[in-house]
Amino acid sequence: MLRDQMITFLQATVIFLLLTNAVSVAAAAYAIAVATGLNNRRREAKAVVVNKANAVLSGMWPSR
C-alpha cells in the first residue's frame, strides 16, 4: 500500500513539474517577443506592403 502511494505521488510530482516547466517556457517566449518588439516588426512589414501597393497604384493612376 505504501509503495503504491509513493509511486502515485512521484508520478503526480513529475507531471506537476512538467506542467510548470511548460508554463515557464511560454512565459519566457512571451517575454522575449515583447522585448524584441515582434509586433513592431509585423507592423513594419505590413507598412512595407502597403507602401509598395500604393506605389503601384499611384503609377497606374497618377494624380497629376
25-57 exposure pattern, b = at least 16 Cβ within 10 A, e = fewer = eeeeeeeeeeeeeeeeeeeeeeeeeeeeeeeee
Write the secondary structure of the chain as one string of H (helix), E (strand) and C (coil): CHHHHHHHHHHHHHHHHHHHHHHHHHHHHHHHHHHHCHHHHHHHHHHHHHHHHHHHHHHHCCCC
Looking at residue 50, what is its pLDDT?
A: 78
Q: Is the pLDDT of residue 18 over 80?
A: yes
The model's pTM is: 0.53
Distance between CA atoms of residues 30 and 36, nearest Å: 10
Residues 24-59: tens digit of each pLDDT: 999 998 888 888 776 666 677 777 777 777 777 776
51 or 10, greater pLDDT? 10
16 or 48, greater pLDDT? 16
